[in-house]
Structure 1
């Protein structure tokens, strides 16, 4: 009996380990959303949970989350406009607001009235923009390493070129496989290789100039958000906290000993917190309720 159970566990592990999340020809689909052909993959059953990846990447970088979350949710991982396997358009500029419209159109086409969201970096910015224009589409959202102002607004930490981590640090070995995949995303996945450089420039220019969400706009968002960031994230801790303090229904989680890529560095911690947050209803806390 024990041998049978062990065999089943090992078989399940091997099957999951071999699933090429984000690049799975068995489940990968396309749908025309406005002027782009959007690539997406769906796993699991239950309440819909839409995953939005970071800039220059694809749904591949959300593979760990797909595996963890599809046990409880119907996970829908999409490639954003001009990235991954989703096509670029002839528009000269890109914006998070436009990508939020893409997500809204995508949901309408798939008849998804409402969903939970997890957005990493640029994906978090898209979730914020969607909450501004279509809050009714979001049940709850988790945003990691997100920003409500573009990098040009001084929210990005400067780079100290005089200091480097120890090359033998185990963190390098732990994150390298995922980062190698991430940095080769365009060359491997872009549907039109001729547009790689122009697409990259659009994504880069967008991150530098956008988003431009005011504090007043943040305060108008009546959607529960979990604001997450590494304690050594690329964006200043002050900016992250300002976002948390101005979203009316926000919770805050700072991942210790982590950077902008905390889902690669501390996947068990990050996944567990996201599942905990998404699995419970939002409640507004009074800091002194226990005294009353």
Structure 2
């Protein structure tokens, strides 16, 4: 009963956060005046949209802006407008932003293939080849974080730097009660929600909505552990979780230590990878609090990671 209540609360938070991100994004809240110009959200239009034929999928994508490419990978049940509508205009001011909808999500119709992080990572690799993009920064949120980890593991030559927001590289990276709650979620919890409305509006069969929810959830009902492979990723990694996230602190710390953290930078130099624990932020709230992590991510992507630590 307790697991069912936790799952219901989690779903309610997902839906509330989606509404908040669409109607009242908070990118500029609490930023110093000098930095607000860098995170305003003007209206932007894609420079390219289309479908890429990859691995049996017709994979929907959009491209915005110019500059160094960054790929954004959404979370479970999300699509481009739900996950990234308030993020794209910020990043597209200085970068080429590639956004896509993963298997079964949004306008990328499902195929007779089980959901797996590995398969979706191969799809992202195929999309980059379709767009003739040799290498890109890859940012993934939640489920998209797992996909991003696998892109770097399976296709390292295509990843310049990796950004993981509230993502896990092993099934026990979640707090135990959160991990257990996945098995108790069902389509009834999403009935009448913005997720169901978006699913119906994008040309999907409404009668298959329960099947869609079940299939998306299936990805986290099977144990997985990529600790060894992820710790051997050569690309620098920025991992961020909320201080009230569903991801365990120890999970993030373990990876950061493996990537050179856990030492005093003034004595040993800064590691190329970074870790952030965002204050006052839940798993779902990571998208609402984009004002807190966007400047950190931008600094990570733009910085010279071989530079010595600052001195006085």
Give 1:210 deviation, angstroms: 5.3
* TM-score (ref. length: structure 1): 0.76
Whole-angstrom distance in 2 between the partners of 1:247 and 1:87: 37
Aligned match of 1:242? 254
Change (3 A) 1:149 1:34: same
Are 2:107 and 1:95 aligned? no
Are 2:223 and 1:204 aligned? no
Alignment deviations for residues 12-48 of structure 1 (CA, whole Å, 9 cap, x no partner): x8961xx6x8xx8x95421211211111111101111
Give 1:187 deviation, angstroms: 3.1
Conserved? CA contact 1:36–1:81, under 8 Å: yes
SS of the aligned residue for 1:49 comes to strand
Whole-angstrom distance in 2 between the partners of 1:44 and 1:31: 19
Change (3 A) 1:231 1:109: same
Alignment of 1:58-73 (within 5 A): 58-60=79-81, 61-73=83-95
How many residues are treated as equivalent by the alignment?
247
Are 2:149 and 1:128 aligned? yes
SS of the aligned residue for 2:105 comes to coil
Give 1:76 deviation, angstroms: 0.6
SS of the aligned residue for 2:219 comes to helix
Alignment of 1:95-244 (within 5 A): 95-150=116-171, 153=172, 155-158=174-177, 181-182=194-195, 184-189=197-202, 191-209=204-222, 211-214=224-227, 216-244=228-256
Give 1:192 deviation, angstroms: 4.4
Change (3 A) 1:28 1:192: farther
Match of 2:305 among 251, 267, 282: 282
Whole-angstrom distance in 2 between the partners of 1:136 and 1:237: 29
Give 1:51 deviation, angstroms: 0.5
SS of the aligned residue for 1:207 comes to coil
Are 2:43 and 1:30 aligned? no
SS of the aligned residue for 2:115 comes to coil
Aligned match of 1:167? none
Give 1:186 deviation, angstroms: 2.4
Aligned match of 1:267? 290
For structure 2, the residue ranges without an aligned partner over 5 or more in a row are 1-39, 179-192, 261-271
Give 1:197 deviation, angstroms: 2.6
Give 1:126 deviation, angstroms: 0.7
Alignment deviations for residues 236-277 of structure 1 (CA, whole Å, 9 cap, x no partner): 112222232234552101110001123433221121111111
Alignment deviations for residues 70-125 of structure 1 (CA, whole Å, 9 cap, x no partner): 0000101100111121111112x210000000001111111110001111111111
Whole-angstrom distance in 2 between the partners of 1:123 and 1:14: 23
Conserved? CA contact 1:94–1:202, under 8 Å: yes
Are 2:101 and 1:79 aligned? yes
* TM-score (ref. length: structure 2): 0.71
For structure 1, the residue ranges without an aligned partner over 5 or more in a row are 1-12, 160-179
Aligned match of 1:54? 75
- Between 51-60 and 240-249, report the one with greater CA deviation: 240-249
Give 1:193 deviation, angstroms: 4.0
- Between 194-203 and 101-110, report the one with greater CA deviation: 194-203
Change (3 A) 1:54 1:190: farther
Conserved? CA contact 1:149–1:212, under 8 Å: yes
